[in-house]
A and B are shown apart, each in its own frame.
Chain A
Amino acid sequence: MTTRSAKEEQLMTRYLMGAATEEQCVQVEERFLRDAEYLKQLRALECEIIDDYARGDMQAPERRSFERRALASPQGREQVARSRKLQAQLDQMAAEGRAATEERATAPLISGSRESLWKKLRALFFAPAPVLRYAMAAAALLIALGGLWLLREEGLSQRVAQLTAERDLAMQSEKNLQERFAAERGELSSKLKNEQRRLADEILRNDRLREEMRRLSAGPSGHPVPEGDFVELALASGIERDSGEPRRLSIPMGLRIVKLQLELDPSVSHRAYQVELSTAGGAQVWVQEGLTARQTDWGRFVTLMIPTRALQAGEYELILRGSTDERKGEVAGYYYFIASPSDARKR
């Protein structure tokens, strides 16, 4: 059986948590690249760490460091997912089979070698052979000594106390489990309420947006009406929910500019934005940087002006990327529309 010092285990934990120095990493790696047993110990320890992570028993900084390391690769994510899966199954089974679990928890783990020894002594004591009756006194003395030896050497009483403690522990675990489930139920119902509230807000926002779109699209044909030298279209992120397909942008003859109003998700906030317009086939047709968002009564929008000559008939995808002081190029939304230009346009 392999034994490890606490220091060594600490080193392994630091390595697995992504908190080891380069020198410590080298130390651990040099060993596990050669020693399969050590690698297995590391993986066993990792399993525990993943369990803690899955149960939410990890502090925020540790969790972040662990996630950066463990969730970076598909293989790492799969290892975490597999562990979480098994943990969830064990938890569910524990919840379902409490009685069985308790019974198991109180059952002895090691089969009764002590019992068989006791049986041997008893058999010896009550042996029917007459010759042994003469040795009764000596046997009694032996049994007494044997009993004492058993109690002292094998810690029988300690074992009984331990089993009792294990049973108490199992009962305590059940209680904890019940409390956890109650807490989770409460948490879930609160999440449900929040979701319902969010959905209501979303519906309201959509109504407002539709109203704004109707206003912008008001005209005899239902198509956007040219205002001066441009045509305007408001777009929400993702495919329009009503029709399930992108909005159509009809470009009347003679217009040179298309003005697109890109609605921002309320959770999105960036200092500046950049747009990349591509055809459905992936060919990039327009890139513009240095855009900013403006707040209106209907939400926040980024306004984009594109020359109509850049657009041919067909479907387009527009990627809006946002930048903050720390991060650049974050996707802030995907927008889709179908352009239907008339054949003769101002050049």
Chain B
Amino acid sequence: MKNTILPNDLWQEPRRGDEKQRRQWDLTPKAFDQFLSLLDLDRDRAGESYEALRRNLIQLFIWRGCRDPESHADETINRVIRKIDEGEEVRDVIAYAHGVARRLLLEVFKKQEREQIGIDELPPLVAQPEEQDDETGVLCLRRCLNRLPEESRQLIVLYYQGEKSAKIENRKRLAEGLSVTLGALRYRAFDLRQRLQGCIERCMGREI
């Protein structure tokens, strides 16, 4: 598969000795520096690339349905650093990290399959709609909407208006009115929504 580097030893089932060796390896500042320099020669940009890679890996593990995306992302990066430290030639860190993440996914899926937790046993959502302080939430939403420019405010309100087919039709018209594609409209609404969400959370933090 294009751009997917899957080193042979990463595909092998871990042997007892390997496991022991893996546990024995420790992340050193030198190894981490070496890894950063492969991301970018400029130290600051390398730091940003590292953060971006970690965030993206977390998102990957979330979208693949893993239960502990953060630790899987860290484990992926650790394995990549270890391989570099051991002298493996890595030309494309992102592609290599993706390969390692996929290998780790296989292990995670196997483990999750063994544990077989049903959906009913999963913990409840972090915040159930009925648990929240609706009044404060709506008050904050109103405040935050008022802070948006008029055009953006109208766009977000119209975008989320309607049900099912009416909503779809509504969005088509909106996209036509703005002479943009539906995808671009969605992108714009998402951008506004992110801003709105951040504003509401800050506002609710102050209000509650």
Interface set of A (CB-CB < 8 Å, partner B): 1-4, 9, 15-16, 18, 23, 25-26, 29-30, 32-34, 36, 39-41, 43-45, 47-48, 51, 54-55, 57, 64, 67-82, 84-90, 92-94, 96, 101, 104-105, 107, 109-111, 159, 162, 165-166, 169-170, 172-173, 176-177, 180, 327-328, 330
29 contacts between A and B (CB under 8 A): A2-B187, A4-B181, A26-B1, A30-B95, A32-B59, A33-B98, A41-B183, A44-B189, A44-B190, A47-B193, A57-B164, A70-B65, A75-B62, A75-B70, A76-B62, A77-B123, A81-B127, A81-B128, A85-B132, A86-B200, A89-B137, A89-B138, A89-B141, A101-B157, A104-B154, A173-B166, A173-B167, A173-B170, A327-B116
Say whether, besides A44-B189, A72-B65, A74-B126, A109 and B178 are in contact (CB < 8 Å): yes
Pick from A9, A33, A173: contact of B163, CB under 8 Å: A173
- Tell whether B22 is near chain A: CB-to-CB under 8 Å: no
Residues of A within 8 A of B193 (CB): 47, 86
Task: Assess whether A101 is in contact with B161, with CB atoms less than 8 Å apart.
Answer: yes
Task: Assess whether B56 is in contact with A176, with CB atoms less than 8 Å apart.
Answer: no
Give the distance in Å from the alpha carbon of A185 to the alpha carbon of B29 in the complex. Answer: 61
Task: Assess whether A86 is in contact with B125, with CB atoms less than 8 Å apart.
Answer: no
Task: Assess whether A43 is in contact with B141, with CB atoms less than 8 Å apart.
Answer: no
Task: Assess whether B160 is in contact with A2, with CB atoms less than 8 Å apart.
Answer: no
Q: Tell me how far the C-beta of A108 lies from the nearest C-beta in chain B, rounded to whole angstroms.
A: 8
**Residue-wise interface mask of B (46-60) relative to A, using a CB-CB cutoff of 8 A (1 in contact, 0 not):** 000000110011111
Residues of B within 8 A of A96 (CB): 138
Give the distance in Å from the alpha carbon of A51 to the alpha carbon of B171 in the complex. Answer: 14
Closest A-B pairs by Cβ, 10 of them: A44-B190, A69-B65, A173-B162, A81-B125, A81-B127, A81-B126, A88-B129, A72-B65, A78-B126, A89-B141
Say whether, besides A71-B125, A107-B154, A33 and B56 are in contact (CB < 8 Å): yes
Task: Assess whether B98 is in contact with A29, with CB atoms less than 8 Å apart.
Answer: yes
Q: Tell me how far the C-beta of A172 lies from the nearest C-beta in chain B, rounded to whole angstroms.
A: 6
Task: Assess whether A87 is in contact with B160, with CB atoms less than 8 Å apart.
Answer: yes
Pick from A26, A36, A68, A169: contact of B52, CB under 8 Å: A36
Mark out the residues of chain B between 36 and 94 whose CB falls within 8 Å of any chain A CB in the assembled complex. Answer: 52-53, 56-70, 94
- Tell whether B110 is near chain A: CB-to-CB under 8 Å: no
Give the distance in Å from the alpha carbon of A78 to the alpha carbon of B166 in the complex. Answer: 28
Give the residue name and chain of the A residue nearest to B2 (CB).
Answer: A30
Give the distance in Å from the alpha carbon of A84 to the alpha carbon of B126 in the complex. Answer: 11
Give the distance in Å from the alpha carbon of A290 to the alpha carbon of B173 in the complex. Answer: 64
Residues of B within 8 A of A48 (CB): 186
Residues of A within 8 A of B134 (CB): 88-89, 92
Pick from B126, B132, B155, B161: contact of A109, CB under 8 Å: B155
Task: Assess whether A93 is in contact with B154, with CB atoms less than 8 Å apart.
Answer: no
Q: Tell me how far the C-beta of B10 lies from the nearest C-beta in chain A, rounded to whole angstroms.
A: 15
Interface size on B, as a range, is: 35 or more
- Tell whether B176 is near chain A: CB-to-CB under 8 Å: yes
- Tell whether B151 is near chain A: CB-to-CB under 8 Å: yes
Residues of A within 8 A of B169 (CB): 169
Pick from A34, A64, A89: contact of B94, CB under 8 Å: A34
Task: Assess whether B69 is in contact with A73, with CB atoms less than 8 Å apart.
Answer: yes
Q: Tell me how far the C-beta of B207 lies from the nearest C-beta in chain A, rounded to whole angstroms.
A: 13
Say whether, besides A3-B183, A29-B60, A86-B200, A72 and B166 are in contact (CB < 8 Å): no
Give the residue name and chain of the A residue nearest to B125 (CB).
Answer: A81
Give the residue name and chain of the B residue nearest to A28 (CB).
Answer: B63
Q: Tell me how far the C-beta of B190 lies from the nearest C-beta in chain A, rounded to whole angstroms.
A: 3
Q: Tell me how far the C-beta of B181 lies from the nearest C-beta in chain A, rounded to whole angstroms.
A: 5
Give the residue name and chain of the B residue nearest to A46 (CB).
Answer: B63
Task: Assess whether B122 is in contact with A71, with CB atoms less than 8 Å apart.
Answer: yes
- Tell whether B28 is near chain A: CB-to-CB under 8 Å: no
Residues of A within 8 A of B58 (CB): 75
